[in-house]
């Protein structure tokens, strides 16, 4: 089989869609969707996704050589596994998306959107994920969705965890720390992200990992990802999760800034870094008569972006836990 990434970027159905080696059996399910079932019985299943945003190439470059080694039998894996390249059409163009941000459409939210590349793709991904979790009965389900952020950040690597009523698997949180994440952000509301979808619908422990700044294929400084890379390889091999010297700083979302009208103004510089602090009383955004102000002693901004479509999120505000 040619490299999974190359084959996905070419956009052709492979001539051979299943195969095996001494470690297990792989199956190509769909463009950019591959599964691997180890011969040895395992009680854990892992969904590894990347390329949900087509310009975020570093995690793709990081993961794909390992996937090729898995297919060729050079390496094994201690999980039943699904690998997903989220948005192949956008990856081909190295753009965040072709028509609309796919990471707002999960959980059936695509129904509210007109036909587009992403609307079609998200339906396929929802079906594939459903098929994957129901193909086994493992007691542990994890989903790691790997991204890079658009802007600079006071925490270069961080995780965003979907809202869930239950507490998180402590091993999962420990692994995120061992992967070099400096901060963990806990959402307080449902969202249209891939990680929220797998958490809500399939009770997976899920996280969106932001692993540095987005750059084109070939321009990524992969040494910045060494810690995450090693932790991922150890996880896949079934190695015990090491203790971390410094626990990630935890944050929870206090408010969302939504662009509700064309009058929306975000009172932040274009190049505001993620996790920039703002003091109590600061007016962050206004939209006609509505205002977002800092209500806690100090709040920190995440993903500020005034140029989103109407009705979408122009930024999150956080507080430290």
**Catalytic residue positions, numbered:** 210
Residue 53, CA atoms < 13 Å, CB-side half-sphere: 22
Q: At its nearest, how many Å lie between Zn ion and the CB of residue 284?
A: 23
Rounded Cα distance, 97 and 214, in Å = 14
Measured from the CB of residue 56, what is the shortest distance to Zn ion in angstroms? Answer: 5
In terms of C-beta density within 10 A (0-12 exposed, 13-18 middle, 19 or more buried), how is residue 18 classed? exposed
Q: How many alpha carbons lie under 13 Å from residue 19 in its C-beta half-sphere?
A: 14
- For residues 108 to 147, the per-residue mask of contacts with Zn ion, x marking binding by CB under 5 A and - elsewhere, is ---------------------------------------x
Q: CB under 5 A: which stretch of 52-60, 68-76, 250-258, 283-291 binds Zn ion?
A: 52-60
Q: Quick check: 83 and 34 in contact, CB under 8 A?
A: yes
Q: Do residues 158 and 210 touch, judged by C-beta distance below 8 A?
A: yes
- Residue 249 pairs with which residues in a beta bridge? 183
In whole angstroms, how close is the CB of 147 to Zn ion at the nearest point?
3
Beta bridge partners, 266, equal 285
228 within 8 A of 211, measured Cβ to Cβ: yes
C-beta of 50 vs 292, nearer to Zn ion: 50
Nearer to Zn ion, 24 or 59 (CB): 59
CB of 290 to Zn ion, least distance (A): 28
Question: Nearest-CA neighbor of 147 among 278, 302, 320, 26?
Answer: 302
Q: Which is nearer to Zn ion, 56 or 118 (CB)?
A: 56
Angle between helices 194-202 and 117-134 (to 10 degrees): 30
Query: In this complex, which beta carbon is closest to Zn ion, that of residue 45 or of residue 122?
Result: 122
Considering beta carbons, is residue 56 or 200 the nearer one to Zn ion? 56
Q: 35 to each of 3, 19, 312, how far by Cα in Å?
A: 15, 11, 33
CB of 53 or CB of 80, closer to Zn ion: 53
What residues from 56 to 75 belong to the interface with Zn ion (CB under 5 A)?
56
Binds Zn ion (CB under 5 A): choice among 5, 51, 53, 90: 53
Asked if 230 contacts 222 with a C-beta cutoff of 8 angstroms, the reply is no
Q: Please tell me whether residue 196 binds Zn ion under the rule CB under 5 A.
A: no
**Is residue 36 classed exposed, middle or buried when 0-12, 13-18 and 19+ CB atoms within 10 A define those classes?**
buried
Q: How many residues sit in the footprint of Zn ion (CB under 5 A)?
A: 3
**What is the smallest separation between the CB atom of 52 and Zn ion, expressed in angstroms?**
6
Residue number, nearest CB to Zn ion:
147
Residue 103 or 292 with smaller CB distance to Zn ion:
103
Q: Which stretch binds Zn ion (CB under 5 A): 48-56, 181-189, 223-231, 256-264?
A: 48-56
Q: Give min distance, CB of 274 to Zn ion, in A.
A: 12
Minimum separation from the CB atom of position 216 to Zn ion (A): 15
Question: Which residues of this protein are in contact with Zn ion, per CB under 5 A?
Answer: 53, 56, 147
């Amino acid at each position: 089989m040619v490299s999974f990434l190359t084959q996905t970027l070419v956009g052709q159905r492979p001539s051979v869609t299943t195969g095996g080696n001494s470690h297990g059996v792989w199956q190509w399910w769909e463009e950019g969707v591959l599964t691997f079932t180890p011969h040895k019985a395992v009680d854990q299943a892992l969904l590894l996704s990347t390329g949900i945003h087509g310009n975020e190439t570093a995690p793709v470059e990081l993961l794909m050589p390992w996937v090729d080694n898995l297919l060729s039998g050079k390496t094994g894996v201690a999980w039943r596994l699904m690998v997903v390249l989220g948005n192949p059409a956008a990856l081909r163009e190295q753009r965040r998306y072709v028509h609309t941000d796919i990471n707002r459409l999960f959980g059936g939210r695509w129904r509210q959107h007109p036909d587009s590349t992403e609307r079609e793709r998200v339906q396929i991904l929802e079906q594939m994920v459903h098929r994957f979790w129901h193909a086994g009965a493992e007691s542990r389900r994890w989903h790691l969705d790997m991204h890079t952020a658009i802007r600079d950040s006071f925490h270069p690597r961080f995780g965003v965890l979907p809202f869930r009523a239950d507490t998180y698997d402590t091993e999962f949180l420990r692994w995120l720390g061992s992967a070099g994440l400096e901060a963990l952000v806990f959402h307080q509301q449902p969202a249209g992200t891939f990680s929220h979808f797998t958490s809500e619908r399939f009770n997976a422990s899920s996280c969106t990992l932001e692993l540095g700044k987005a750059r084109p294929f070939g321009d990524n400084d992969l040494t910045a990802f060494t810690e995450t890379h090693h932790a991922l390889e150890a996880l896949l091999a079934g190695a015990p999760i090491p203790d971390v010297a410094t626990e990630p700083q935890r944050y929870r979302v206090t408010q969302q800034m939504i662009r509700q009208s064309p009058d929306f103004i975000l009172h932040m510089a274009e190049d505001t870094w993620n996790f920039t602090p703002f003091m109590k009383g600061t007016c962050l955004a206004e939209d006609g008569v509505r205002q977002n102000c800092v209500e806690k002693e100090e709040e920190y901004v995440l993903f500020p972006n005034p140029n989103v479509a109407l009705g979408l999120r122009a930024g999150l505000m956080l507080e430290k836990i």
